[in-house]
Structure 1
Amino acid sequence: MGDVDEALRELHRARRAPLRIRVCGHPGVGVRTLAAALVTRFRVDARCGPLRDGCEQSGEDPAGDDLICQVLGAGVRGCDLRALARYRIPVLVVAGRADQRGGQVRAAALAGQAAARLGRPVYPVAALPGGARVDGDDLALLRGWAGAGVRVPALPAGFVDVAAGAERRRRAGMLHRYGPDGLSRLLAALAGPGGAELDAAAATGLLRAAGGLEQLVAPLHALGPAVRRRRDARFAAELSALAAAGPGRDRIELLAQRAGRE
């Protein structure tokens, strides 16, 4: 019975586990960055989908995903359309890398065009600043740069190329962590009115507000009932399969009946 009890505990853990999101999309649209940001911000279990037909996607729900987050680039690709047509579980669609689309107005317009083509909402997000956390060391370095008049140029590579040695590595690290838009926002805030009072928590909040991930809270909640129904159905099916294996069958079938009534 020990194996059966452990199997039952595992089924209950899976039923109550954090939301499991499969983040999918064409390479280069920020799939991995968004997955990391979702974990940081919402404490979900976010993973990248396998590469198939030009997109990282999962249409067969092989690992018990609760929902799919499809990440678009500047527009809708053919592989996005094919992937969305294949999915059989709840889907949330975002337009990734909104901080690289020429401003928030332009990013929103592109997301609106994608939404019109797909016939579903599309949320513009900037995962890099949206999932960032500014620590005290970074803030001190940024404050020094802001005071010295350092800014991120129109071509972000120039921010790194003007420096050498350790300074070049520091600049490259900052650009990698916060992105050009996020870094520009931080430097401008520190150089502007109230910059001397800006602490790490406020700097983090500034970036996260620009990232737009809060837009996803309401649609994620709206998908909750569908996710629960899927989890309950999976739980009941796996209980039935476990009962069919033999040991503890009566007890397991009773649990399956109770699960079906919840």
Structure 2
Amino acid sequence: MVAGGHSLLPMMKLRIANPEYLVDINDLVPELGYVITDPTLVRIGAMTRHREILESDTLAAVCPIFRDAERVIADPVVRNRGTLGGSLCQADPAEDLSTVCTVLDAVCLARGPSGEREIAIDDFMVGPYETAVAHNELLVEVRIPLRHNTSSAYAKVERRVGDWAVTAAGASITLDGDTIAAVRVGLTAVNPDRTALAELSQALLGRPATEETFAEAGRQASQACDPVTDIRGTAEYKRHLASELTIRTLRTATERVRNIPEPEGN
């Protein structure tokens, strides 16, 4: 199936993908292109363009990590055509929105002949270029739970504007006063260890949201990945970036929580 085509078509040119048939689903944009927010849930249609996500002020208010990531995804041409669903279903290890949705505990809604089913994002990503969506199913929506006193952030290092990440990191954090009540950290393009990242997040619970805590999280993040040396940098450099970007995103997300306006009447 082809939505924006900016991931599939390059793979076809490189003979990495060789589908027998292609089905253009752009006629589904009116039905599956939307961003809906309410006090407890964000719903984003799978055919929502990157540009629409970037420009959604209501989404940025509750999940600023999306705007952080969309600003550094490719270029305006790609953002005008590429979609959220296409990015997730591509499941590229260097793709930004997979990490964004992971740290937000997103749930993916797939639809097929047997009806609809929800797939937790941790189960959705089976491996590189492989998802849990069946051959007769279509990803139709991404759902993100909203929590009080919570915010998020994403940071990326790239060789040039619009390039794939050398390394990137995302974080979502919930505070109870100055104490970390919930947190998730994610890494992009460095072969992260899911179990190690889960342990990192668990170790932060109950800790004060301080620079010392974030520095420790950064050290753990550098050990929770297994990057390779390539044209974008050495493995050592990428581990360093994993640490620094983890610190940066935790710091930014925490500052955003502290800047959330108090509810009227308090």
**Do they fold alike, i.e. is TM over 0.5?**
no
Larger Rg: 1
Greater percentage in helix? 1
Greater percentage in strand? 2
Q: Shorter-chain TM-score: which interval? A: under 0.3
Q: Give TM-score scaled by structure 1 length.
A: 0.26
